[in-house]
Structure 1
Amino acid sequence: MSTPLAIGIDLGTSGARAVVMTPGFEIVAQGAAKLADFGANPRDPKIWWQAVEVALKAVLVQVDRTWVHAIAVDATSGTLLPVDGQGVPLAEPLMYDDKVGDEALLARIAAVIPAESAAHGTTSGLAKALVFQSVPGVAKILHQADWIAGRLAGHFGTTDENNALKTGYDPIDRHWPDWLAAAGLRTALLPRVVAPGAPIETIEPAMAKALGLSEEVEIIAGTTDGCASFLATGADRPGDGVTALGSTLTLKLLCDRPIFAPEFGIYSHRLNGMWLTGGASNSGGKVLSHFFSADEIVRLSAAIDPDVSTGLDFYPLLEPGERFPVLDPAWPPRLTPRPADDAGFLQAMLEGISTIEKLGYDRLAELGAPPLQSMRSLGGGASNPAWTAIRQNRLGVPFPPAHSQEAAAGTARLALIGLEAVGDL
């Protein structure tokens, strides 16, 4: 192989994955490691690094290392940790879904935070940063991806615009805003912010030696796991949508302008000169799995004719309450009348979730986003042919295949952008 290679690393909730990608977006190597293989505490940064290192070494043995020119990292959005001046963690990290229960601290945020900020809520990066600034000896407060990239670069002071968003970063004016200090945060503890895909610096020499890489390898700013998953699909034009059909229904849409709708929990990430927005419904695969096992869903789906509608108007929820595309804490589930046969019941639920998906993209368009132009799908539901056909009937746009479902592949694309910026492509 005689072409520059880029590596993307994804650190998720259960493990690390790495891919090696060519400038033509071909994935030529993949590797993975489970956090549980290195210890029982998935919050331990040492375990994070061990998993990343194993995944990284697994792909490096599959390629000519001399052609590796760049590495970028994504990780869970909203996971933070305090470090000292050498990047040594000083306290157990607060994970993406950990809640801060200090009412006085939350009140300080609520008094000054703009409505459109992504830093609202008890799980926000900002709330966690305010907790960590009191840790003795803290020099920086980093996001999970920042710390892994820092291990590679030997420098722990840089983040990207996407990870910074939930910590209060202003993506419009592109800076840490003054109101953060008014909330009581010592902003000197925050890392500098660069665009996803921007070069940070070259790899730390000792790390290069340990991995058998050139000291000229560029460490590139990464992104959040959600943004990386979107990029992995190959979606790259305004109007390109990506729906994740997992336990919940999550919609993402690439836009030519930012969309903010705090009443729906909608904000926008800067990404490759465009904006990524979206929303999440309380409906999704968890409703299906409440009634049927995975094997039953496969068997029953085979009996569905997606071109013959049940005519039912289901809104599949397990309990009252919806957040997008409608916002109503009392929004009622609609799962009746139940058809006599299980295949009909499953089809009615699939139709209902597909209608919610259509309403979601229509809602984004009402808020100023471009109309949906194409659809790529992620998650377990993407492999269900009957559901795909129902969704195609509802959405009425092309369904190109996702280039990859691996978030690490999206981060590798950012690494390639960084190589282009430094003239290596």
Structure 2
Amino acid sequence: MSSRPVVVGIDIATASVRALAVDARGEARAEARERLPDPVRGPGGTSEQDAESWWPAVRSALRRVTGALPGGGRETVAVAVCATSGTIVPTGPGGRFIGPALMYDDRRAAALNAAAQRAGAARWDALGLTVGPTAALGRAVWCLRAHGPRLRGILHTPDVVGRALTGEAVRADWSHALKTGYDPRAGEWAADVLDALGFPAGLLPAVAAPTTEAGTVSPEAAGATGLPAGCSVRLGMTDGCAGQLATGAVAPGQFVGVLGTTYVLKGVCAELVRDPAGALYSHRHPDGWWLPGGASSTGGEALAGLSPARLGALDLAAAERGPASYVRYPLRREGERFPFVAAGARGFELGAPEDETDAHRAALEGVAFLERLAVERLAGLGVPVSGPLYAAGGGSRSRVWTRIRATVLDRPVRVAGRAETAFGAALLAASGTLHEDLTGSAAAMAGPGADGEVEPVRDERAALEDAYGRFVVELRARGWLDGG
């Protein structure tokens, strides 16, 4: 294998660290994974992890990756770090950790976050954001109250690793900083809110755009990881944003439907969009555009309990069957959050299945109806979705489901090749190094998967259009969707 320039994307998830080396064409050259200790979850919704475990795991993964490269890592030109949104760690004198990392799902500061929401109501409304009970902002204030004058700073996960890579403090990216109280619209920490909560803004890091150079790999880090000294360290984004970018959806009008346990629609628009219902909120794109997104309460969970073999058999039967004989909203829990917000929403059926295949086909169609409703919701907010819809997540591996989605949407669906956080981090590292910018990185590196673009099935359009109309009418009749 020849030695050619590569970038390395690092994904620090809850359970593990993954490092991925990718060349300028998007070809994976080496990868490695290291486990992290399980979070410790306790009374009152606390969720903690030993932040001291992050760097050793990253260091080990990088050492394995660079050791597998033809040039021993010398061909690496840049590295970027992406992590779970909202995880923070308190630091004291000398930058030492003075407590465990408080994880993204830690609820200990729910009351403080409610106070932050009230104190900055006008700011958050302008940003189209709600400070939720698990936001890192409240937990930062909790750290000050818990540690007092010993607290010298709050760091996000990539800030910790960036410091270890460069040997000095680094700026935070505005994606990881969002839930800690950074206002990317105004380009500042929400000082009014921080003041109201008695939290000095000076305890938070300086902030810059993702893809900005944070520093370079120090000689010490080079010796520990195999990366070359002087290698560029670029600011990353949260795992959700990086996963979106990995699909290739990086320019205004491009959106990706992520079909996992739940359905998530994320994309790019030129101007900030505000959703009065609160179902949609936005991160900021590295180039100053916006990344609106919303998560449904249904999705692949509709097929829970079926073995892979059974799913495969039902998919084949559903493809042969054609459109279902009835309409199904496959919501397995109470409450919907996107594309409409209805706490009392429940799944329903308009008619009854003829058999198991019919029921399976109706579930696939029901999730596709939610996806179309989500795209139409965006259009109603003035956000255009252009070209094919990008597709990612486990559900996108089902070719029949992808065909149904394309037919319901009446547009091609482009199945992503590598919709992974580490690959998205690699695209960010390649921006300004292997390629001129993020758009160039995505165009050169983020190709489609084996299925490529899946076209609508014209012979099924009329039946699915009729079923979608019945679906929407029923949502309105139940008072869950505006217009009824």
After TM superposition, is the score higher than 0.5? yes
Provide, for residues 237-293 of structure 1, a one-character-per-residue CA deviation record: whole Å limited to 9, x for no partner: 322221111111111112122222252342222223232111111011122205x33
Query: 2-side partners of 1:14 and 1:366: how far apart?
Result: 39
Q: Contact (CA 8 Å) 2:405, 2:413: kept in 1 or not?
A: no
Q: Equivalent of 2:151, from 116, 126, 138?
A: 138
Moved more, 161-170 or 2-11: 2-11
Moved more, 379-388 or 400-409: 400-409
Q: Equivalent of 1:385, from 388, 395, 399?
A: 399
Query: 2-side partners of 1:329 and 1:377: how far apart?
Result: 27
| Counterpart position of 1:118 | 129
Provide, for residues 29-65 of structure 1, a one-character-per-residue CA deviation record: whole Å limited to 9, x for no partner: 2211222599999711222223222221221112112
Q: Equivalent of 1:81, from 89, 98, 116?
A: 89
Answer yes or no: is 1:278 the counterpart of 2:297: no
CA pair 38-256 structure 1, distance change in 2 beyond 3 A: closer
CA pair 227-353 structure 1, distance change in 2 beyond 3 A: same
| Counterpart position of 2:247 | 233
Query: 1-side partners of 2:414 and 2:220: how far apart?
Result: 43
**Larger RCO (CA under 8 A, 6+ residues apart):** 1
Query: 2-side partners of 1:32 and 1:251: how far apart?
Result: 28
1:364-379 map, 5 Å: 364-379=378-393
Query: 1-side partners of 2:27 and 2:274: how far apart?
Result: 34
Query: 2:54 is matched by which residue type in structure 1?
Result: W
Q: Contact (CA 8 Å) 1:32, 1:55: kept in 2 or not?
A: yes
1:212 positional shift = 2.9
Gaps of 5+ in 2: 42-46, 442-484
| Paired residue secondary structure (2:32) | strand
1:372 positional shift = 3.9
Query: 1:172 is matched by which residue type in structure 2?
Result: R
Query: 1:179 is matched by which residue type in structure 2?
Result: D
Provide, for residues 64-117 of structure 1, a one-character-per-residue CA deviation record: whole Å limited to 9, x for no partner: 121112111000001111112443221122211111355366325423333235
Query: 1:187 is matched by which residue type in structure 2?
Result: A
| Counterpart position of 1:314 | 328
Moved more, 229-238 or 103-112: 103-112
Q: Contact (CA 8 Å) 1:199, 1:421: kept in 2 or not?
A: no
CA pair 376-325 structure 1, distance change in 2 beyond 3 A: same
| Paired residue secondary structure (1:401) | strand
Moved more, 243-252 or 331-340: 331-340
Query: 1:389 is matched by which residue type in structure 2?
Result: R
| Counterpart position of 1:326 | 340
Query: 1-side partners of 2:380 and 2:93: how far apart?
Result: 47
CA pair 102-314 structure 1, distance change in 2 beyond 3 A: closer
Answer yes or no: is 1:200 the counterpart of 2:208: no
Provide, for residues 138-194 of structure 1, a one-character-per-residue CA deviation record: whole Å limited to 9, x for no partner: 221111222122221222342101111112211122111332333322111111111
Aligned sequence identity (%) = 35
1:131 positional shift = 1.0
CA pair 39-4 structure 1, distance change in 2 beyond 3 A: farther
| Counterpart position of 1:50 | 56
Q: Equivalent of 1:99, from 104, 107, 110?
A: 107
CA pair 140-237 structure 1, distance change in 2 beyond 3 A: same
Q: Contact (CA 8 Å) 2:212, 2:234: kept in 1 or not?
A: yes
| Counterpart position of 2:26 | 25
CA pair 385-193 structure 1, distance change in 2 beyond 3 A: same
Query: 2-side partners of 1:117 and 1:79: how far apart?
Result: 22
Query: 2-side partners of 1:149 and 1:101: how far apart?
Result: 27
Query: 2-side partners of 1:242 and 1:378: how far apart?
Result: 7
| Counterpart position of 2:139 | 128
Query: 2-side partners of 1:39 and 1:313: how far apart?
Result: 43
Q: Where in structure 1 do 4 or more consecutive aligned residues deviate above 4 Å?
A: 36-42, 420-423
Q: Contact (CA 8 Å) 2:255, 2:268: kept in 1 or not?
A: yes
Q: Which has the larger radius of gyration?
A: 2
Answer yes or no: is 1:147 the counterpart of 2:160: yes
1:217 positional shift = 0.8
Moved more, 397-406 or 14-23: 397-406
| Paired residue secondary structure (2:184) | coil
Q: Contact (CA 8 Å) 1:306, 1:390: kept in 2 or not?
A: no
CA pair 105-229 structure 1, distance change in 2 beyond 3 A: closer
CA pair 341-422 structure 1, distance change in 2 beyond 3 A: closer
Query: 1-side partners of 2:112 and 2:257: how far apart?
Result: 38
Query: 2-side partners of 1:38 and 1:204: how far apart?
Result: 30
Query: 1:31 is matched by which residue type in structure 2?
Result: A
TM-score by length of 2: 0.81
Moved more, 68-77 or 397-406: 397-406
1:123 positional shift = 0.6
1:9 positional shift = 0.2
CA pair 299-88 structure 1, distance change in 2 beyond 3 A: farther
Query: 2-side partners of 1:393 and 1:48: how far apart?
Result: 44
| Paired residue secondary structure (1:264) | coil
1:390-405 map, 5 Å: 390-405=404-419
Q: Contact (CA 8 Å) 1:315, 1:334: kept in 2 or not?
A: yes
Q: Contact (CA 8 Å) 2:39, 2:49: kept in 1 or not?
A: no
| Counterpart position of 1:269 | 283
Answer yes or no: is 1:363 the counterpart of 2:377: yes
Moved more, 39-48 or 384-393: 39-48
| Paired residue secondary structure (1:377) | strand
Gaps of 5+ in 1: none
Query: 2:13 is matched by which residue type in structure 1?
Result: G
Instruction: Quote the RMSD (CA, aligned, Å).
Output: 2.6
1:205 positional shift = 2.2
| Counterpart position of 2:10 | 9
1:2 positional shift = 5.3
CA pair 29-253 structure 1, distance change in 2 beyond 3 A: same
1:238-253 map, 5 Å: 238-253=252-267
CA pair 391-53 structure 1, distance change in 2 beyond 3 A: same
Query: 2-side partners of 1:159 and 1:8: how far apart?
Result: 17
TM-score by length of 1: 0.92
Moved more, 82-91 or 157-166: 82-91
Q: Contact (CA 8 Å) 1:18, 1:56: kept in 2 or not?
A: yes
| Counterpart position of 2:459 | none
| Paired residue secondary structure (2:79) | strand
